[in-house]
Chain A
Amino acid sequence: MELRQVGTIAGKEFWDRIRNRWVLAVALVFTVFALVIAYFGGAQQGAVGFRSIGVTIASLVSLVIYLIPLIALVLGFDAIVGERERGSLDLLLSMPITRFELLLGKYLGLAAALAFSTIAGFGLVAVVLAAQLDLPALFHYFGFMASSVLLGMAFLSIAVMLSVFAADRTRASGLAIAAWFFFVLVFDLLLLGALVVTGGSYGGEIFPYLLLLNPADVFRILNIFTLDDVRTLYGLATVFPRTLAEPWLLGLVMLAWIVTPLAVATWRFRK
């Protein structure tokens, strides 16, 4: 593998998103939503203003879990199929570059754009809130930012995989929307439904492991479990064993969610 070729493709993808202001737009969306949640999250309870980092992160998690997968899927769904449909893929592949280098370059460039906008967007909020946060709170906030980046990478990897499999952009966009519905809306409902139907007598032991099959759930657990007050609030400790909730372990699961779809995409693209 020639890293220079990967870098050339990644650089183009990244700068394309900088130039067309995609990164700026997404960063602004994150900043505005995060500030609104931090200051007005407790408005329903009659209080306005920053409360605690735990409550803020819990609210942000609820937002991010919908928003970032959607943005990542929209960003990556036409990475390969778009080039193929436009007719520019053949020209790219006629260059001294392998299919793996092209795929990896595309992924890394898009991932860099998404990570940059996520860090810039939420990082700006950290700067604004810095005066009200102590060191542990900042640590938790940066943990939230890092896991948000990982969540974006995982869904971007899924999007790039769909982009390789899809015959055209229309189908790729349909698959991306279906993936969002499945992972963000349907998956938890299915698990919950299965538990209710069986009265909790079957599947209770494998339930925590099944949650790992969804990167959105891994992200949720990663953030919720590290905050004591929120963990209690969500009642997660009753269904999710503490041993499985180690940040490094969940981080590895997230990495697997990044690597596996990319590996499948590479296999398919080479064929």
Chain B
Amino acid sequence: MTSTTPQHAERGVDPAAIVAVRGATRHYGAVHAVDGVDLDVGRGELFGLIGHNGAGKSTLFKMMLGLVPLTAGDIRIDGAPVSGGGFRAVRRKIGYLPENVVLYDNLTGLETLQFFARLKRVPAKECAPVLERVGLTHAAQRRVREYSKGMRQRLGFAQALLGRPQLLFLDEPTNGLDPEAIREFYLILRGLKADGVTMILTSHILAEIQERVDRLAIMAAGKVQAIGTVQMLRERMDLPLWFHVRLPRADFERVRTVLGHLPVTAVEARDDHVAVQCRRDAKMLVLQALASLGDKVLDLHVHEPSLEDVFFGFSD
């Protein structure tokens, strides 16, 4: 697969990008489902796409897969335009797990994979190992109608893994999975990442992806509002952080005293601790001031803004 072409250079595309989205737009009448999105995803990257329902994530996904035509703009996967005739060859290297995956109830798990394997021109012998990878070997001969929601989701993931894809699109991939299955799912993603597979995933469980993605984009109203690592977005949003200082109740006022001259934005006495809010740039000053309390401090926790805080900051 090639990616560095003269056309790429002209369009200002990062040569390392396997997905290059430029001004991608999709209008449905007056509704701007996706509105001028620019996005690059590098090879081997685990990229998150988050947004409210209706933010345009799934439409953008479908545009990147060539399922929804673009009103304007350009999307290239591995250098090939998604609307071009050459995209069929690229599709063989792509795995896709749709949101609310629907499979064929009358087929068994193994038959389902064999059907998709034929479409992808993957040898049938690859199906059993893929089923094993997602933990469905025991249910290979059972009809999909007997599968639970979580098992269907895992089978959907299995079809996406057929043919050793170089690029995976995973739309709400942990829908219906129990915590154990979610953990196993991300372990598989870690293995795929180690193999150099590029993955783009959406999730509405922000806590779940904030520790796992390399970079993410926040979408709202059809536009990308922010893009970067979680840490970069936190810094850009400049949200305050919280210190939770546990110490004897009799010493709560001492906290106010040592922080008196510092630019803290809130000091709140709570049940067994004092909560201190400050701007990110005052973090080390506050930490030093709290250290001056010595052994009065029984415990200390620093709470960085969560991805949810960042998300609401950008999307609102």
Contact = CB atoms under 8 A, between A and B. Distances in A.
B and A form one assembly: yes
Interface of A: 4-5, 8-9, 12, 16, 19-20, 86-88, 90-98
Interface string B91-108: 110101010111110100
27 contacts: A4-B118, A5-B119, A8-B115, A9-B119, A12-B115, A16-B106, A86-B102, A87-B98, A87-B100, A88-B103, A88-B104, A90-B65, A90-B67, A90-B96, A91-B96, A91-B98, A91-B101, A91-B102, A91-B156, A91-B159, A93-B67, A94-B65, A94-B67, A94-B91, A94-B94, A95-B91, A97-B88
Contacts of A87: 98, 100-102
Nearest to A102: B119
Given A87-B100, A87-B102, A90-B98, A95 B67 contact: no
Interface string B102-142: 11101000000001101111000000000000000000000
A98 B87 CA distance: 10
A20 B102 CA distance: 19
A88 B156 CA distance: 11
A222 B58 CA distance: 52
Nearest to B116: A95
Given A95-B116, A95-B119, A88 B67 contact: no
Contacts of B256: none
Contacts of A91: 96, 98, 101-102, 156, 159
A96 B102 contact: no
Interface of B: 62, 65, 67, 88-89, 91-92, 94, 96, 98, 100-104, 106, 115-116, 118-121, 156, 159, 169
A147 to B, nearest CB: 32
B119 A97 contact: yes
Nearest to A92: B119
Given A88-B103, A94-B91, A95-B119, 9 more contacts: A8-B115, A20-B106, A87-B100, A90-B96, A90-B98, A94-B98, A95-B120, A96-B91, A97-B88
A94 B62 CA distance: 9
Contacts of B120: 95-96
Contact of B119 (A86, A90, A96): A96
Nearest to B117: A8
Nearest to A96: B91
Q: Which 3 A-B pairs have the closest CB atoms?
A: A94-B96, A96-B91, A95-B119
